[in-house]
Amino acid sequence: MAKRLPSLNVLNAFEAAARHLSFKKAAEELCISPPAMSHQIKVLEAHLGVALFKRLNRALELTAEGNQYFQDVQNAMLQLHRATDRLMTKHQPSVFRISCIPFITNSMLIPNIQSFKDEHPELPIDIQSQVRRANFKEEHIDVAIRHTKGDEPELHYEALSPVLISPVCTYDYWERHRNDQTKVLDQHRIIRLSVDPNSWQLWQQEWGFKGLPNEELSLDNYQAVLDSVVQGLGLAMGYIPALKELLRTKKLMLPFPDQVTEFGKLYLVYLKSEANDPRIQSFQTWIKRVISSNSDK
């Protein structure tokens, strides 16, 4: 006859105590009292007939048997959590998780995402705005929109659109500060995106603009950069096609509309193994439509 297993509550108490090497911290995590935690461990040790902990003067250590049992219990609980997640995922709508670089999140995703939700009212959507590369498997990311192409063999990069750059400012600012175009930066405050140190230099080199900025303001958020430009604080590098609405409403202008430089591409990224996921296919069609509408002049 098989021996009766310890209760799940007792095993949870042991796992927490072994992980913290502290009955007090484990008790706080599980919202029980330290005496109750100590009692749970004693019950488990009595059930197993072996000491799991060395109770020292001001410390707690696992015995050799306790350490092995801790590893086995942790692995078993991990399997239990995974099995539960799989079952719940199977019977509940799966969240469609999008990781996106911030300037595309603010300029394209957020203003247009309702139309995608209207097409898929049953689909929960989570948008994560971040610069760093997403870990698709660990973070359960379905699709990402990125400005650079990586070499991860498990990922597919679908080119969506070239990213074009050219300076932007307000009409009023340009009337007050325009000067000899060959020294465009001399009399201007340049508002830079701190994570993009290269776009100004690339643009200047391609079009022969020289001179150093009179003053610089560096911000770590492209929305903050655009807000500063709209307030008339200076010139910033504009990323097209993310500026259509600001240009259409004349909140911003391109002072050099013919001097436009290609600055990489936008990519839709997803796991190759998920290429046939109908949610990904639908999102790919939708985002291409959104980008196309923002690229129209």
- Give the count of domains, the chain: 3
Q: What is the CATH number of the domain that holds 58?
A: 1.10.10.10
State the pLDDT at residue 181: 57
Last residue of a domain, one of 48, 69, 87: 87
Identify whether 2 is part of a domain: no
Tell me: do 182 and 153 sit in the same domain.
Answer: no
Give the pLDDT of residue 195. 78
Specify the DSSP element, H or E, that contains 145.
Answer: strand 143-146
Euclidean distance between CA atoms 109 and 103, whole angstroms = 9
Query: Is residue 1 included in any domain, yes or no?
Result: no
* Cα–Cα dist 28/31, whole Å: 5
pTM: 0.63
Residue 32: strand, helix, or coil: coil
The distance of Cα 126 from the centroid of its chain, to the nearest Å, equals 10
Residues 119 and 173 in one domain: no
User: Residues 107, 72: one domain?
Assistant: no
* 118 and 205 both lie in a single domain: no
76 and 106 in a single domain? The answer is no
Structure confidence at residue 92 (pLDDT):
57
- Which among 70, 87, 104 is the end of a domain? 87
CA 152 to each of CA 107, 137, 156, 162: distance values in angstroms, whole numbers, following the listed order: 27, 13, 8, 21
239 in Cβ contact with 165 (< 8 Å): yes
Q: What is the pLDDT of residue 71?
A: 94
| Structural tokens at position 5 | 């297993």
Give a yes or no: residue 193 inside a domain.
yes
pLDDT value, residue 297:
46
Taken as a whole, the chain contains a residue count of: 297
Dig out the tokens for 64 from the structure.
């050799």
The domain that holds 276 is classified in CATH as 3.40.190.10
Distance CA 103, CA 111 (A): 12
Q: Are residues 47 and 79 in the same domain?
A: yes
Q: Which of 51, 66, 87 is the last residue of a domain?
A: 87
Q: Report pLDDT for 1.
A: 41
Tokens of residue 8, six digits: 């799940």
Q: Are both 140 and 280 inside the same structural domain?
A: yes
Question: For residue 88, what pLDDT is reported?
Answer: 65
* Residue 209 within any structural domain of the chain: yes
Rounded CA separation 192/203 (Å): 13
Q: Judge if 56 and 168 occupy the same domain.
A: no
pLDDT by 10-residue block (mean), the chain, 297 residues = 77 92 89 88 93 91 94 91 73 80 87 93 89 82 90 92 93 83 73 85 86 81 89 92 86 93 92 93 95 70
Question: What distance lies between CA 158 and its chain's CA centroid?
Answer: 19
Q: Are residues 75 and 141 in the same domain?
A: no
Residues of the domain holding 59:
8-87
Would you state the structure tokens that stand for residue 88, as one six-digit string? 């719940």
Side-chain-side CA neighbours of residue 287 (13 Å): 27
Q: Please tell me whether residues 167 and 258 are part of one structural domain.
A: yes
Bridging pattern class, strands 96-100 and 60-62: unpaired
Q: How far apart are the first and last CA of the chain?
A: 78
In-domain check, residue 110: yes
Phi and psi at 155, nearest 5°, equal -105, 145
